[in-house]
Amino acid sequence: MTPSDNSSRRVLAAILAASLASPALAFDLDSDTPITVSADSARLDDGKGIATYTGAVELVQGKTRLTAERVVLYRSSEGLNRIEAKGSPARYQQPVTSGEGETDAKARNITWSATDKQLTFEREAVIEQNGNVFRGDIIHYDTEQRVVTAEGGEDTGTGPGRVEMVIQPRNSTDSTK
């Protein structure tokens, strides 16, 4: 990796963080709103604090929604601390906290960690918000610091995978004047 590659990644991460700065991108454990889970089947191992849901799984808290083929919830004595979702793709949707629109994120694997305050999208990750699009093989979002980092995929013989962004102008309605 060249210094130019590092610089480009930092610039891309800064642009994405600015364009996606308004969402909190996480379930809110301090909320009084419960997280509701529905699925075709469920298995709860209370001793280990692990609940596994399979088949058209849907987690909902208010207007925040996670859908996947398989979801595993991990609980500790402090409460829910990790969510792992797998699908083709798994999908995460949340309204934008300031303004209108919603964040719509898809990936084959989505992991949310309360301990790390991190949301990770892996394998064919795409995040869309108000016309802005961000693609990468792995996208990490630090929900506390509001920092986004992304990686392209491995070299498949046709060249290394790349991070891709489409950023809409701030005042797209003003551009027609």
- Residue 73 has phi, psi (to 5 degrees) of -105, 135
The domain containing residue 13 runs over which residues? 3-169
- Number of domains making up the chain: 1
Quick check: is 164 in a domain?
yes
Q: Tens-digit pLDDT profile for the chain (177 aa)?
A: 444 444 444 444 444 444 444 444 467 766 788 889 999 999 999 999 999 999 999 999 888 899 999 999 999 888 889 999 999 999 999 887 666 778 889 999 999 998 888 889 999 899 888 788 888 899 988 877 777 788 887 665 555 578 777 777 876 554 444
CATH number, domain at 65? 2.60.450.10
In a domain, 146, yes or no: yes
Q: How far, in Å, are 73, 82, 150 from residue 35 at the CA level?
A: 11, 13, 28
The type of residue at 158 is T
Half-sphere exposure for 60 (CA within 13 Å, toward CB): 8
- The answer to the question of residue 176 being in a domain is no
29: CB partners within 8 A, 6+ apart: 79, 80, 114
Query: pTM here?
Result: 0.76
Q: Is residue 175 part of a domain?
A: no
